[in-house]
Structure 1
Amino acid sequence: MPIPEDVTGEEIDKDVRQELQSLPKTLAEDVAKNLVMVARLIDEDPERAYAYSRIALRLASRVAAVREAAGFAAYATQKYGEALAEFRAARRMTGTVELWPLMADCERGLGRPEKALDMAGAPEVQKLDKAGQVEMRLVAAGARRDMGQLDAAIVTLQSSELASNSVQPWTARLRYAYADALLAAGREGEAREWFAKAVEADRDGSTDASDRLAELDGVEFTDAFVEDEEQDQVQDPAQDGADRDEQGAQDEDKD
């Protein structure tokens, strides 16, 4: 696949660049450029990001950063079996536990929520940083919901991180998940309160909490362009009658 001219490979993280030093220089540059494309496209065009990740994987499958990038790209395209395999490979190579929550979520994606819950209770979770532990809590709550255990999902999300007034990178998503679980359980009033709290914390628009809140408040959004098109299609009855009279006169002239 073509690489844009503005991509040099130098854009990648310095730790990844250091990993690639084990490869021949030209090969390392090619792999780096493909990894840059994965990072650039994974949100806006995950299928293309996945394609670039496969090229990087073909070129350097023994580099942990490449396996991790391939895992993220597969995860973004809901290829959970592939993603899990790549995350496991990266973990074996690095020995770290950072990918543990993502691996558990892949188990959910594969229809194995019980396995995800087992992973949520594993010793590896205690080795995660705070962000990783919150992510694991979100995955565990999702697994509970997969199994139809709404009350258990709500309890799983109740934590010091949820109760805290300080805003962290995970706060909006945690509050959103809690609000969504409350709503699924029919606790609409509490859900509205927590969607509002999610909006307060969602500084970069990472969730659609504002839309969910508006929906609960009965606010409907209309597309102005659609309205204009519909208006154009509704003809004035008086004009419609005039058009028919004009057509009738033309028919009489022909006779």
Structure 2
Amino acid sequence: MPIPEEVTGEEIDPDVRQELMSLPKGLAEDVARNLVMVAQLIDEDPEQAYGYSRVALRLASRVAAVREAAGFAAYATQKYSEALAEFRAARRMSGGVELWPVMADCERGLGRPERALAMAGEPEVQKLDKAGQVEMRLVAAGARRDMGQLDAAIVTLQSPELASSAVHPWTARLRYAYADALLAADRESEARDWFAKALEADKDGATDASDRLAEMDGVEFVDAFDDSEEESDDVADDLSSDVSDDVVEVDEDDDEDDSDDSVGDKS
């Protein structure tokens, strides 16, 4: 697959670069450049990112970082069975537990929420850092909702991290999930408060909390650009009509002047 010349492969994480040092230099560079493309495209064009991940996988399937990237690309395109297989392979190679929450979410994607809940109770969860534990809580709450256990999902999200006023990278998503669960339980007033709290913590636009708040408040957004275009078209039509009328009047005056000149010449 085509890769822009400006993508050198040096853009990847130093830890990943270290893993690729086990490969011959030219091969390592090719793999690195494909991994960069995966990272650049996974949000805006996941299908393209998936294609680059498959190239990297063919080149270096025994590198844990490559299997992890392939897993995330498959996950982004909702190929959950494939993603889970890649995450399991990466975990076997690296020995880490960081992928545990996303592996559990793959189980949800495959229609097996009970397995995701079982994973939420495994010892691996205690080995996760705080961000990983919050992610696991979000997955477990989602699994509860998948099973129709809405009240249990709300309770699952209630935690010291949710109650904390401190803002972390995961705070907005946690508050948003709680607000969404409350709304699903018809607890609208509480839901609105938590959507507002999610928006307050969402500095990077990770959620659509602002849209949800507007929807709850009955606010409708009008595309001002489209309206201005229509108004401009109307003005242009009016101006065109006025100009046409003026031209007709001028032409009639010119004809009268020409007629008078002709009479004068004949006399």
Structure 1 residue 209: deviation in Å? 0.4
After TM superposition, list the pairs within 5 Å mapping 1:6-21 onto structure 2: 6-21=6-21
Q: Partners in 1 of 2:58 and 2:40 — Cα distance?
A: 19
The aligned residue for residue 116 of structure 1 is 116
Runs of 4+, deviation exceeding 3 Å: 225-234
| Alignment coverage as a number of residue pairs | 237
TM-score normalised per structure 2: 0.85
Structure 1 residue 207: deviation in Å? 0.4
The aligned residue for residue 82 of structure 2 is 82
Q: Partners in 1 of 2:48 and 2:166 — Cα distance?
A: 37
Q: Partners in 2 of 1:116 and 1:185 — Cα distance?
A: 22
The aligned residue for residue 138 of structure 1 is 138
TM-score normalised per structure 1: 0.89
After TM superposition, list the pairs within 5 Å mapping 1:52-67 onto structure 2: 52-67=52-67
The aligned residue for residue 216 of structure 2 is 216
Q: Partners in 2 of 1:205 and 1:108 — Cα distance?
A: 25
The aligned residue for residue 250 of structure 2 is none
Structure 1 SS opposite 2:21: helix
The aligned residue for residue 176 of structure 1 is 176
Structure 1 residue 200: deviation in Å? 0.5
The aligned residue for residue 70 of structure 1 is 70
The aligned residue for residue 26 of structure 2 is 26
Q: Name the % identity.
A: 85
Structure 1 residue 217: deviation in Å? 1.1
Question: What is the identity, as a one-letter code, of the residue corresponding to 1:58?
Answer: R
Question: What is the identity, as a one-letter code, of the residue corresponding to 2:124?
Answer: E
Q: Which runs of 5+ in 2 are unaligned?
A: 239-267
Structure 1 residue 223: deviation in Å? 1.5
Q: CA RMSD in A?
A: 1.7
Structure 2 SS opposite 1:22: coil
Q: Partners in 1 of 2:233 and 2:194 — Cα distance?
A: 42
Structure 1 residue 225: deviation in Å? 3.7
